[in-house]
Amino acid sequence: MRMSTLFVRTLRDDPADAELPGHKLLVRAGYIRRVAPGIYTWLPLGMRVLAKVEAIIREEMDAIGAQEVKFPALLPREPYEATNRWTEYGPNLFKLQDRKENDMLLGPTHEEMFCLAVKDMYSSYKDLPLSLYQIQNKYRDEARPRAGILRGREFIMKDSYSFDIDSAGLQKSYDLHRQAYTKIFNRLGFEYVIVHADSGAMGGSASEEFLAVSPHGEDTFVRDESGYAANVEAVEVPQAPKQQVTVGDSHVEPTPDTPTIATLVDALNAGHPRSDNRPWTAADTLKNVLVMLRQPDGTREPLAIGVPGDRDVDAKRLEAKVSPAEVEPFEEKDFAAYPQLAKGYIGPGALGEDNGIRYLLDPSIAEGSAWVTGADQPGHHVIDLVYGRDFTADGTIQAAEIKEGDPSPSGQGTLSLARGIEMGHIFQLGTKYAEALGLKVLDESGKLTTVTMGSYGVGVTRAVGVIAEDNLDDAGLIWPRTVAPADVHIVATGKDDAVYLKAEEIVRELESLHLEVLYDDRPKVSPGVKFKDAELIGVPTIVVVGKGLADGVVEIKDRRSGERREVPVSSVVGEVLGEINASKA
């Protein structure tokens, strides 16, 4: 690769639409370019990084005996109709029609296709276990494409699928994938955690996510000191045990101008002191949050969620629980349709299936506990309303926000919260897809048995984005050696022909050792610009061949540490090899 001919144009200014530093640098350094929201072109430098990430994934998948295949991205509707995902996938699915008006889609994930291929070709337990994978484009019309390649609408995924005759086999396949993923992410160069995950719309049971730990993450996860870690979506708050009722009859009180929890608590403390003399807090109030659920078929239904007033409803936990329905805000017109609702003063009396609004409570709300909540008339609240005595609900929902310091569901210690980016997801799907598509084989006793499946994904393009976000400084990217677009970046400076001849010689020698070299051979570009470009592009080792050559020396610079040293030109190849080997050790 020579800078004089490489298809790259580095930019001094940040792209206008980029929020995250790594995304800005990937564009500025000429790795990717935006085509449309969430849709990116990969330039030669980017292709090299992508190829290295893919190679690592291939090696580890092959090592567990998975076999590579490639399905089309353009798919017919029927298989997705059979599993109901044509509808359930909702607006994220890219749908189109061919010239004969047949419905088609661009694959968001490929369970159906793998399942059908195995059904086509295999018929006996003797053919199993089997693991297949592909590295291929996926299409999802994400509501919020983000941070360039971190959340794209076209992106590359490694997806694999395991096929077993029974759940013991599935567990084995799952464990093998877990091992392979651990190796892949250890090699890719970012910090990650493995967390319990919600299986969500995919169905199935055991499921874990590999999250890159990052303040830019869209996922929140919890962990405790015992090693328990889970995506907040998957945290199960235990049902609070029944309590003895300790209060008298409930009573409605005027509480004018208290539409928020804070104003209500102030009004309670000012006008309605507690009998036990401690002050009221937000945790004594019951907040009823209304949303609209939109089912995949377009129907809308209201949902009310009761949570202690010191907590919000967590949008991602809620979405995971109601999926495939989507959560929409409860609007003015919805209030108009349910005139029993007094906005800001909604109580359990106006809710529940009898009132046409399903009402679900946070499991921390104990039977027998007393609450202050809306009295269903403007400016009024009800005090000492006891769950189980004065009101009921239609069930519980795990949708309240999880807070730092909450007791851990593991029973050991408290939870701390951090953010992460989902890099991989492993699922024990079970028989959901095999059943829907009729994937059965003969078992040992000659009986037709439904095959049990696992499904496993790695975000390949997302991985490049995460590595970039995790490896950078003010001057540019700093690739880990395992995925760098080149092993060494040779910068020749000045106008002296001897410099370029020598640099050329070093390049050839390094290449003969099968090292990948990016050579800045541009004769008319100033040293300052070349140095800036080298920092921006982020190859781990930079060799400057310039003025020093007159004294028989060149400079080797470590991009990450910034450390630079002069070495005799005669030993530069050995020194570069030494750097590469040292970083591998």
Residue found by looking up tokens 């919805």 in the block: 334
Tell me if 123 sits within 8 A of 154, measured CB to CB.
no
* CB of residue 290 to ligand ATP, shortest distance in Å: 25
Neighbouring residues of 285: CB distance < 8 A, sequence distance ≥ 6: 261, 264, 265, 308, 309, 310, 371, 372, 373
Alpha helices, DSSP H, located in 228-298: 261-271
* CB of residue 200 to ligand ATP, shortest distance in Å: 7
Query: For residue 349, how far is the Cα from the chain centroid?
Result: 39
Nearer to ligand ATP, 185 or 391 (CB): 185
Q: In what order do the strands lie in the sheet with 564-568?
A: 517-520, 488-492, 541-545, 553-558, 564-568
* Residue 523 neighbours by CB distance under 10 Å: 11
* Count of residues of this chain found to bind ligand ATP when the rule CB under 6 A is applied: 15
* CB of residue 155 to ligand ATP, shortest distance in Å: 4
Nearer to ligand ATP, 325 or 543 (CB): 325
* CB of residue 218 to ligand ATP, shortest distance in Å: 6
* CB of residue 333 to ligand ATP, shortest distance in Å: 30
Tell me if 489 sits within 8 A of 203, measured CB to CB.
no
Nearer to ligand ATP, 385 or 421 (CB): 421
DSSP assignment of 351-384 equals -BGGGTBEEEE-TTS-TT-EEEEE-SSTTEEEEE
x/- letters, 78..117, toward ligand ATP (CB under 6 A) = -------------------------------x--------
Q: Which of 152, 189, 308, 409 binds ligand ATP (CB under 6 A)?
A: 152
* CB of residue 179 to ligand ATP, shortest distance in Å: 17
Task: Enumerate residues 409-428 that contact ligand ATP by CB under 6 A.
Answer: 422-425
Q: Which of 306, 459, 538, 540 binds ligand ATP (CB under 6 A)?
A: 459
* CB of residue 34 to ligand ATP, shortest distance in Å: 14
x/- letters, 111..150, toward ligand ATP (CB under 6 A) = -----------------------------x-x--------
Give the binding range for ligand ATP (CB under 6 A) out of 79-87, 252-260, 459-467, 504-512: 459-467
Task: Enumerate residues 350-379 that contact ligand ATP by CB under 6 A.
Answer: none
Tell me if 251 sits within 8 A of 271, measured CB to CB.
no
Question: Rule CB under 6 A: is residue 462 a binding residue for ligand ATP?
Answer: yes
Task: Enumerate residues 154-173 that contact ligand ATP by CB under 6 A.
Answer: 155, 157
Q: How far apart are CA 402 and CA 208, in angstroms?
A: 19
Task: Enumerate residues 189-248 that contact ligand ATP by CB under 6 A.
Answer: none
Q: Which residue is nearest to ligand ATP (CB)?
A: 459
* CB of residue 402 to ligand ATP, shortest distance in Å: 17
Tell me if 502 sits within 8 A of 549, measured CB to CB.
yes
Q: How far apart are CA 240 and CA 235, in angstroms?
A: 15
Neighbouring residues of 493: CB distance < 8 A, sequence distance ≥ 6: 499, 527, 530, 544, 545, 546, 547
Task: Phi first, then psi: give them for residue 517, nearest 5 degrees.
Answer: -120, 135
Tell me if 515 sits within 8 A of 488, measured CB to CB.
yes
Nearer to ligand ATP, 346 or 458 (CB): 458
Nearer to ligand ATP, 326 or 487 (CB): 326
Q: Which residues bind ligand ATP (CB under 6 A)?
A: 109, 140, 142, 151-152, 155, 157, 422-425, 457, 459, 461-462
